Amino acid sequence: MKEQFLFIDFEFTMPDGRSKGIKFYPEIIEVGFVSVVNEEINQTYSSFVKPIQFPTLSSRCKRFLNISQKNVDQGIQLKELAEKLNDATSRYNTTVITWGNMDMRVLKHNCDAANIPFPIKGEVRDLCLEYKTFFGNQNQTGLWNAMKEYGKDGTGNHHKALDDALTTYHIFKLVEKDKQYMKKPAPATIGDIVDFSSFKKRISSY
């Protein structure tokens, strides 16, 4: 079975203030993912998602994410999202990569609240944590700030799920390239230093 890296990003609901009666928790309202197989983009996917517990978006959420109520009202159901993710992670030996751990935490909480099995199959890697550890930073760095530290810009618009997933993919390639560069080469052996074939020829000529 082929190996796949699946870069996932979600956007979530936000509260305006205190919710009445029910304790607020974030729900997924947009998904974007990028499937990479054999170091090539195999598929991209983007959709809005209908929130269940808090279906009406706060003005803060709409303003911050530049998203409308109509966008999410026309989105897919959480169950459809789970089916999409299950299918995407089941086709290949999959490693899911996110920027930070919030995406998987919210997905699991949303699925638990809706009695939907957690859909992700395979390993999950937090690239934000890997970035922090690799560069020895004290604090975690925002996705687009990490790109700026490489002297590059993010893809498209920040806080658009597919654009952030693509940006995560691009920074993953940069970090992996740096990891390869930083690997210490294996110590040279005497065979690497001395060309025994020419040495034998010289010996036999005497």
* pLDDT tens sequence across 31-54: 999 999 999 999 999 999 999 999
Q: How confident is the model at residue 99 (pLDDT cuts 50, 70, 90)?
A: very high
Neighbours of 18 (CB within 10 A): 7
pTM given for the model: 0.86
Structural domains for the chain:
3-204 (3.30.420.10)
pLDDT by residue (tens digit) across 109-145?
Answer: 999 999 999 999 999 999 999 999 999 999 999 999 9
Neighbours of 189 (CB within 10 A): 8
Per-residue model confidence (pLDDT) at position 199: 46
| Average predicted confidence (pLDDT) for the chain | 90
Cβ–Cβ < 8 Å for 145, 135: no
Whether 170 is catalytic is: no
Of 11, 39, 123, 149, which is the active-site residue? 11
Residue 185, burial from CB neighbour count under 10 angstroms (0-12, 13-18, 19+): exposed
Say whether pLDDT at 82 is over 90. yes
Whether 158 is catalytic is: no
Q: How confident is the model at residue 182 (pLDDT cuts 50, 70, 90)?
A: confident
Per-residue model confidence (pLDDT) at position 133: 94
Rounded average pLDDT over 167-185: 87
List the one residue out of 150, 153, 176 whose CA is nearest residue 166: 153
Of 149, 159, 170, 176, which is the active-site residue? 159
**Residue type, position 29, single letter:** I
Rounded average pLDDT over 102-107: 98
Q: How confident is the model at residue 74 (pLDDT cuts 50, 70, 90)?
A: very high
**Alpha-carbon distance 17 to 158, whole Å?**
24
List the one residue out of 16, 44, 12, 17 whose CA is nearest residue 30: 12
Which helix (H) or strand (E) is 65 found in, with range? Answer: helix 59-65
